[in-house]
Structure 1
């Protein structure tokens, strides 16, 4: 059985982390140029890093990929619809809601309005979620969307960094 390999970054000068943190600084100053039209699609989580750009606990990225952690964005009535989900052995935990793109960096502000647990396409639990206060909305500060590599990199409200790969539609 093959071993999953992933690129880990650290904050050492000359490392991929240094390049990522430099892109983030540039994005803060000049904006990332990411437009709402570029975001729709299914984004599979590939890698996460701590606030400082160090790798998370060993196995974290592998576990999240194994759980098929994903972020799906689509055009909705009020901006974007957002779905964040993980899957395990036929079970799916899904958070759904609305998102908006704000500012020049930009920030992807979102609010989940429902939680759903299903197994084999049968809904086992569905709950409405309370709306957070406007000043406490979760967000992703979008750093870079690399169309050639199909990756999206962002920093979350909690300070961690994440990188997703766009899932290509199956033929």
Structure 2
């Protein structure tokens, strides 16, 4: 699934900075598969980067936990899974999804090989995603990270029970 053209994405981001996206926490839970990334200025990444990230099944998993979210960022390769997990919450009307990873886990075929706690970053250095757009019809989430890069994920559809 191709991402939005960078120019349209940057224009949408300018609108959001003025009026906010008003994305609510209730709309975020799910498994979001990374589809596309762009540089700070909207340039495409090095050739093959998006393909590699999709091949590694790079994903962002958000689960509701009381008033906040549990966040998991992971990649998978040949039965191996590298997973960072922690907590997240929304701040402001844009909003920012502010998060902190508390643990790192490496597993193979469901068996944990290594797990360790991660020190919390200083409060002024917490990572975040500035949420730009959540398109329910297309099932996409677009955001700018603390480092300035842009990313777009698509929601993994869950099988109905």
TM-score (norm 1): 0.91
Counterpart for residue 41 of structure 2: 52
User: In structure 2, what is the Cα distance between the partners aligned to 1:96 and 1:17?
Assistant: 30
Counterpart for residue 127 of structure 1: 116
Counterpart for residue 97 of structure 1: 86
Counterpart for residue 39 of structure 1: 28
Output one character per residue of 1:90-123: Cα deviation in whole Å (capped at 9) or x when no partner. 0000000000100000000000000000000000
Pair member with larger Rg: 1
Does 1:149 find its partner at 2:144? no
Output one character per residue of 1:59-114: Cα deviation in whole Å (capped at 9) or x when no partner. 00000000000000011146100000000000000000000100000000000000
Q: CA deviation at 1:23?
A: 0.5
**Judging changes above 3 Å, is the alpha-carbon distance between structure 1 residues 40 and 8 closer, same or farther for their aligned structure 2 residues?**
closer
Q: CA deviation at 1:56?
A: 0.2
User: In structure 1, what is the Cα distance between the partners aligned to 2:129 and 2:2?
Assistant: 21
**Structure 1 stretches (4+) deviating beyond 2 angstroms?**
6-9
Q: CA deviation at 1:7?
A: 3.5
Q: Secondary structure at the match of 2:42?
A: coil
User: In structure 2, what is the Cα distance between the partners aligned to 1:130 and 1:42?
Assistant: 25
Structure 1, unaligned stretches of length 5 or more? 1-5, 10-15
User: In structure 1, what is the Cα distance between the partners aligned to 2:144 and 2:14?
Assistant: 12
CA RMSD of aligned residues (A): 1.2
Counterpart for residue 161 of structure 1: 150
TM-score (norm 2): 0.96
Instruction: Count how many residue pairs are aligned between Structure 1 and Structure 2.
Output: 160
User: In structure 2, what is the Cα distance between the partners aligned to 1:170 and 1:116?
Assistant: 26
Structure 2, unaligned stretches of length 5 or more? none
What is the aligned counterpart of 1:72 among 61, 68, 72? 61
